[in-house]
Amino acid sequence: MSWKSKSAFKRLGNTFKRLYEKKLVYKEDFEALKTLQETINELTELRVKEQTLFAKIVCANMFFSLLRYGNINASIKEVQNDLDLSLTSHLQKLTIELNAQELQNLMKSKGITFELVESLETKNNNLEIIKKNEKEFINKISKEWNFADVKKSFEKTINEFINNPSNYTI
């Protein structure tokens, strides 16, 4: 049960409790609400167990969002925003980031420094490194990841995750 649903049930429970104390609601009605809440909790737990892999991924995403925002509600909203995006959109973002990271790693390995505020000396040094390694940088850019290759690799990786029984341990 979500935090929102739990709060709603708590509110209903308190309302029924007050009405029960005033003899406006039968004890059986109050017990029925409690039973309904327990049943929903059991079904929720069962569904999460059946979708362990999905639950683990959402939990990890929620954890990192919580670290970023410091607020569970903002974290949940961020995770929902991610889930609202199509898989194609996520794969496009992944493709762009793969290419950016690989180029940046190559540039770092050649000695280029990335600073928010660069001195003239740093800028000149970076320009020299770029000129010296221009062909390698161009070659890297021309052989970057394309969407189709990222999608194919992603699908293979997903299938490996799905087929790995240890990914389903709770």
Characterize 15-53 residue by residue with b for buried, 16 or more Cβ atoms within 10 angstroms of its Cβ, and e for exposed: ebeeebeeeebeeeebeebeeebeeeeeeeeeeeeeeee
The pLDDT of residue 1: 64
Please state the pTM of the whole predicted model: 0.68
**SS3 at position 38:** helix
CB 102 within 8 A of CB 158: no
The pLDDT of residue 141: 86
- Rounded distance between C-alpha atoms, residue 31 and residue 33, angstroms: 5
The pLDDT of residue 95: 96
Domain ranges of the chain: 1-50, 52-84, 86-170
- Rounded distance between C-alpha atoms, residue 31 and residue 38, angstroms: 11
Q: Which structure tokens are listed for 28?
A: 């059986």
Q: What is the DSSP letter of 7?
A: H
CB 119 within 8 A of CB 60: no
Q: How many C-beta atoms lie closer than 10 Å to residue 156's C-beta?
A: 10
Three-class HEC string of 56-82:
HHHHHHHHHHHHHHCCHHHHHHHHHHH
What is the mean pLDDT of each successive set of 10 residues along the chain, which is 170 residues long? 76 83 82 85 85 93 96 95 96 96 91 82 89 88 91 95 89
Q: Which structure tokens are listed for 14?
A: 């308190």
Q: What share of the chain is helix, strand, coil (3-state, %, to 5)?
A: 80, 0, 20
The pLDDT of residue 161: 92
CA distances from 91 to 5, 62, 86, 87 (A): 33, 20, 9, 6
CB 1 within 8 A of CB 46: no
